[in-house]
Chain A
Amino acid sequence: MTTLLDIRNLSAVFPGRRRREPVRALSGLTLTLERGESLSVIGESGSGKTTLMRCILGHVLPSEGSITLFGQDTASADGPEMTALRRRCAMVSQDPYGSLPPTLTVLEAAMEPWLLVRGKHDEKEGEERARNLLGELGLRDEAILSSRVRLSLSGGQRQRVAIARALILDPELLLCDEPTSMQDASTRGEIIEILAKRQRSGMSMIFVTHDLFLARKAAPRGIVLHKGTVVEEGFCRDILSAPKHPYTRALVAALPRLGKLPGQESCKPETN
């Protein structure tokens, strides 16, 4: 196996606004990802998971430490080199309202990355790919494909358009930031399955979520981020069944589970 991503001792500090203290979003984070491997990043708001994604893509510069992406140190990559690295990755951002071009139709939005990278002459193939992807994601209706993103698209539908955009260029590394937060339970499973199919054919994925169950479904291995540091890492199933760190234990205990309702077992949600 070759190493796809190697992060060493990464810290990201944002200067404090006005007279506030600087914000340490990440500190001393180390992780490696082999080609074809996937990782879940479990963390709640403020844990630093989004900053981690942005650091990988070079949108946030590390204050300390190094990131090696596809064998190249991102700190030493110049503009065109960084662009080339980014093109081998794709990101599904947390907010499907802010991350999609509002004036394009659904089909155009899904095709856009393809056209930008491949140019106009490959338009036909781009459209075909976009249609296939959107169809796979449950957006087949011609009326939806030709309607503008800004109008009449639910949050869940927007997220699916964002996923289609991310997959259209066959990325080697997919960064997903809570990509299914607005989906209904049944659709969520289908989307994870689509992503799993891509993983089986060689795509690596970093899947950021606050949902431990989803993390386990998305990738076997996971890290738990809390206030910018990795508090636990290992197989997601072990993190769920035997959490070690006090924070992870609290997180696991707070998960509402349909399989453990008060009436079924003596497992009432703890109050603390």
Chain B
Amino acid sequence: MIDIRNLSVTYGRMTSEGRGSQAAAVKNVSMTIRKGQFSALAGESGSGKSTVLMAIPGLLPPGTAVSGEILLDGKNLLALPENDLNRIRWRRIAIVPQGAMNSFTPVLTVGHHVEEVLSVHLGLSRKEALERIPSLFDLAGLDGELARRYPNELSGGQKQRAAIALALACSPDYLLCDEPTTALDVITQQGIIATLKNLVEKKGLGLLLISHDLPLAASVADRLHILKDGELVEEGDPAEITARPRNPHTRALVKALLDLEEGS
């Protein structure tokens, strides 16, 4: 279990006048990510969703003030030295960062990216790595043959699936996905969400989906969290939140979305 307790994150930043200022991105957030559970974190842009995600594997930029605890099976990740964190990244907790589908190196095949991860993090030889690729691609819902292609030869949906295959390379227990379906067509989007759901149900992964799309997050998650201006304003069963939102922000949001769906 990843148990986030009272997480607060404040970015140090420079204003346009060159003075330093502080920006609290996440305030006192507590939530858990369990194996075999599909959790979702929804919120508007700038609400702090990505900050929460990046804080978990310790990937926030230097100079960021982080307080609280992030416990992985009881061990506080925030207190771990970089070397220990490196053994947890990829192998225990993997991420599909925002825009992953557009961050492949254009001159390397998609399979090469996976080989590199397997070689660096698990010390596998090229031959051993190549043997693993078909099953990894299969998990992500991709034909293994596509590993030989270059990123520009894949469609957006295929690239996003390749990014998921990459994140799964070292068989992590937890997968954190930041807006994995944004900018994809709804039919493609639905297929990718089904793949993620399958990883939770069949492989028992603990999954965190970050999305600004509340209907999407609510339709797939076992547990939904809503972030507003860095604070967790709602948490629970998606159907329950939709039926009885407690927070005024969530209430307005749910109403706006339901009105649009009902056509009033």
Contact in complex: A189, B44 (CB < 8 Å) = no
Contacts of B216 in A (CB 8 A): 256
Interfacial residues of chain A within 222-272, with CB under 8 A of chain B in the complex: 237, 240, 250-251, 253-264, 269-272
The B167-195 residues at the A interface (CB cut-off 8 A) are 185-187, 189-191, 193-194
Interchain Cβ contacts under 8 Å between A and B, 18 examples: A182-B45, A184-B212, A185-B256, A185-B257, A185-B260, A210-B186, A213-B260, A213-B261, A217-B260, A256-B186, A256-B216, A256-B219, A257-B215, A258-B215, A258-B219, A269-B190, A269-B193, A271-B190
* CB-nearest residue of chain B to A240: B263
Please give me the residue from chain A that is nearest to B216 by CB atom: A256
Q: Evaluate whether A261 and B44 lie within 8 angstroms (CB atoms) in the complex, with A213-B261, A269-B194 already known.
A: no
The CA-CA distance from A254 to B237 in the complex, in Å, is: 21
Question: What chain B residues lie within 8 Å of A185 (beta carbons)?
Answer: 214, 253, 256-257, 260
Of B61-69, B86-94, B238-246, the one contacting chain A is B238-246
Is there contact, CB below 8 Å, between B186 and A184? no
Of the listed residues A155, A253, A255, the one surrounded by the most CB atoms of chain B closer than 10 A to its CB is: A255
Docked pose: A107 CA to B182 CA in angstroms = 31
Given contacts A182-B45, A258-B215, 12 further A-B contacts (CB under 8 A): A45-B156, A154-B46, A185-B253, A214-B260, A237-B263, A253-B190, A254-B190, A258-B214, A258-B261, A261-B242, A270-B190, A271-B197
Q: How far is the CA of A271 from the CA of B201 in the complex (A)?
A: 13
Q: Which residues of B contact A101 (CB under 8 A)?
A: none
Contact A254 B186 (CB under 8 A): yes
Q: Does A271 contact B256, Cβ atoms closer than 8 Å? A: no
**Given A185-B257, A269-B194, CB of A258 within 8 Å of CB of B186:** no
- A-contact 0/1 string along B8-30, CB 8 Å cutoff: 00000000100000000000000
Q: A127 at the A/B interface (Cβ < 8 Å)?
A: no
- Provide the A201-227 mask, 1 if CB < 8 A to any CB of B, else 0: 000000000100110110000000000
User: Please, how many angstroms separate the alpha-carbon atoms of A98 and B111 in the complex?
Assistant: 33
- For residue B154, CB closer than 8 A to chain A, the reply is no
Q: Is the CB of B258 within 8 A of A251?
A: no
Q: A142: shortest Cβ distance to chain B, in Å?
A: 17
Are B263 and A251 in contact, with the CB atoms below 8 A? no
Tell me if B238 and A261 are in contact (CB < 8 A).
yes
- Give B32 Cβ to nearest chain A Cβ, in Å: 20
Q: Which residues of B contact A213 (CB under 8 A)?
A: 260-261, 263
Q: Which residues of B contact A58 (CB under 8 A)?
A: none
Q: Which residue of A lies closest to B262 (CB)?
A: A259
Are A186 and B263 touching (Cβ within 8 A)? no
Residue of B nearest to A189 (CB): B256
